[in-house]
Amino acid sequence: MIAETITGRSIGSLLRTRIFAPLGLGHTSYPMTSTILGPHVHGYLADEPRLDVTDFSPTVSSASGAILSNAGDLARFYEALLRGRLIPRRLLNEMQTIDPVATGGIPDAGILGGGWGLGLLRENFPCGEAWGHDSETLGYMTAAWSNRSATRQVVVFVNSNYDHDAPVSQAMRDVLVTAYCGGSDQL
């Protein structure tokens, strides 16, 4: 709402002209309807009978959850962000500044907690820290993680009941660790 008020343009227009087009994110959009054009992953709830919730519109969350993308574009976005091609380095540093008290980390002991920066999450994997974001919405769970230089990345989408289903969350974590760390304990 702040960006729209300051610029006089819609958030969709701003995203398209300032992020999607310059980064070449050809499979990323900010739709204003629940109709998804082209090939896409369907979201399901595991109710009986199974319920397809693909047409549920994430626009109810406005800019906090209504962007549609694919794994390649999501990785490209984080690569541009973490390599300083999207915002000035000083702003990226602010995004990666995390209060260690709020995360349970003890920096003097070399223990990094996970946690929030300004719109960017830090996650700890067995092979090192990663930066990105994860989220859930009705029918889907998504996670995208990159090392600080975006030379190592993982993006995973799965179906989810949107209730922090422990077995699905644990399976997602296992896949992320295997894909991100590649069976190695070191970055």
CATH class of domain segment(s) 2-181: alpha beta
How far, in Å, CA of 27 to CA of 40, rounded?
10
Contact present, 135 and 60 (Cβ < 8 Å): no
Q: What is the pLDDT of residues 108-128, one digit of tens each?
A: 444 455 777 788 888 888 899
Where do the DSSP E strands lie in 29-177?
44-45, 51-52, 115-116, 121-125, 128-137, 139-146, 153-160
Helix, strand or coil, per DSSP, at residue 102: helix
pLDDT tens for 2-32 read 889 999 999 999 999 999 999 999 999 888 7
